[in-house]
Amino acid sequence: MAKATQSTRALDNAPRGPTRDFVPAILMAGPAIVLMLLFLIGPFFAGIGFSFTNQRLITANPTEFVGLRNYSRLVRMSVLPVQQEVDAATGQPAVDDEGNSVFPRSRDYTRNTEEYPQYEGLREWFSVDVGNTRYYILAADPTFLRSVINVLLFAILVIPLQMGLGLLLAVLVNQKLAGRNIFRTIYFSPVVTSMVVISIVWTFLYDKDNGLVNQFLQVFGLPNVNWLGNPTTAMPAIIIMSVWQGVGMQMVLFLAGLQGIPEQLYEAAGIDGANGWQKFRFITLPGLRNVTVFIIITITIAAFQLFTQVYVMTNGGPNDSTTTVVFEMVRKGFREQDIAAAAAIGVLFFLFILGISLLQRRILRDQEA
């Protein structure tokens, strides 16, 4: 009896193997794994599959495999060079009543599929005049390409503005000043406020008649600006609002990086005669390198995810001047009910985010080496 009891205790005290630990782990993680399969991994691979079909949201036609047609429709482009028309009476290059050169219309080629089959399915995106030749840039989906240009422009402007202002605010609130915690809260509060609410508030601020921004301009004798109704000013208006909304997050990240730099480095630099700019250049900036890389990556990803501001403030207009990649994906999937095209945009967007993540990993790995 004693030997049996000792054997039982020995088995209980024996270290558990991987098999005995695996079952409880699966039971604990099972619900999370099921939810991930249902709402993340499953839809991801389903989207990839839909991008190779003609799937629509509501249709009586059967779904068919179409290969890369959806991707081709998004990125297909061509250049159409045409010569200036000649006046039959004078034999000179033709001009209109305003003195502008007259060229053949692009639709004369894109709609004449029998004579110009290479331009079938293409539309004019924009044109460039070089001497007596006009180059029409044709695209199968000019709106999608315009959305890519818009988010690139958005990212190019938002990244340096948010980083610069965020670093400036971080340096200021990092000083030993009275009430600095209040300033930190004020600067960070837009980050935790709903983007929908912020977009609605800024829509009223940008109102062309009674908006606070135009009332401020009137103080200096400047005319009212239709900020959200003009293709020239709509995207800059969204950029200004987005910088204001997100600068608080960059401030917090830079502030964390500043507080991680040893104070002894600044004291040693001061003993050696370094001034404030030299301390900032040779101590602060190198010490914030990892934080800066992280901020660049996160702002870039957030820029390509731009949607809420556009949806609430401009709905992609005017004239598609504020449409974005995510907005186009939603519009094609739900408004146009073209699930396949929306899935193709989602796959391209995923590949871009993956490339940015791999770039971040490589940069950080090189820094550690």
Residue 233 inside a domain? The answer is: yes
Residue 6 inside a domain? The answer is: no
CA separation for the pair 229, 245 (Å, rounded): 21
pLDDT per position as a tens digit, 62-103: 889 999 999 999 999 999 999 998 888 787 888 888 888 889
- The verdict on 189 and 221 lying in the same domain is yes
Identity of the amino acid at 39: F
- The verdict on 194 and 338 lying in the same domain is yes
- The verdict on 249 and 291 lying in the same domain is yes
- The verdict on 202 and 114 lying in the same domain is no
Point out the domain boundary residue: 122, 139, 156: 139
- The verdict on 213 and 359 lying in the same domain is yes
Point out the domain boundary residue: 116, 139, 162: 139
Dihedral pair phi/psi, residue 321, rounded to 5°: -75, -15
Residue 6: which pLDDT band, with cuts at 50, 70 and 90? low
- The verdict on 185 and 133 lying in the same domain is no
Residue 49 inside a domain? The answer is: no
pLDDT per position as a tens digit, 178-213: 777 788 888 888 988 999 999 999 999 999 988 999
- The verdict on 222 and 282 lying in the same domain is yes
Q: What share of the chain is helix, strand, coil (3-state, %, to 5)?
A: 65, 10, 30
Total structural domains within the chain = 2
- The verdict on 280 and 324 lying in the same domain is yes
pLDDT at site 9: 52
Percentage of the chain beyond pLDDT 70 is 92
- The verdict on 87 and 219 lying in the same domain is no
Residue 129 inside a domain? The answer is: yes
pLDDT at 161 over 60: yes
Does residue 242 sit in helix, strand or coil?
A: helix
Residue 29 inside a domain? The answer is: no
What does pTM read for this prediction? 0.82
What is the extent of the structural domain holding 357? 143-368
pLDDT per position as a tens digit, 309-341: 999 999 998 999 999 999 999 999 999 899 999
Give the number of other Cβ atoms within 10 Å of residue 251's Cβ: 26
- The verdict on 133 and 153 lying in the same domain is no
pLDDT per position as a tens digit, 13-43: 555 555 566 677 777 777 877 887 777 788 8
pLDDT per position as a tens digit, 99-133: 888 899 999 899 888 888 899 889 999 999 998 89
Residue 292: its H or E element = helix 289-304
CA separation for the pair 183, 117 (Å, rounded): 63
- The verdict on 150 and 122 lying in the same domain is no
Residue 175 C-beta-side C-alpha neighbours within 13 Å = 8
- The verdict on 132 and 172 lying in the same domain is no
Cis peptide before 160 (omega within 30 of 0): no
Report the b/e string of 322-339 with b at 16+ CB within 10 A. bbbbbbbbebbbeeeebb
pLDDT at 366 over 80: no
Is the CA virtual torsion 250, 253, 259, 265 positive or negative? Answer: negative
Give the number of other Cβ atoms within 10 Å of residue 305's Cβ: 14
CA separation for the pair 265, 256 (Å, rounded): 17
CA 71 to chain centre: 20
Domain containing residue 307: CATH number: 1.10.3720.10
pLDDT at site 79: 93
How does strand 123-130 pair with strand 77-83? unpaired
Report the b/e string of 142-180 with b at 16+ CB within 10 A. bbbbbbbebbeebbebbbebbbebbbebbeebbeeeeee
pLDDT at site 369: 59
Residue 200 inside a domain? The answer is: yes
Residue 7 inside a domain? The answer is: no
Residue 41 inside a domain? The answer is: no
Residue 234: its H or E element = helix 234-259
pLDDT at site 26: 74
Point out the domain boundary residue: 111, 139, 167: 139
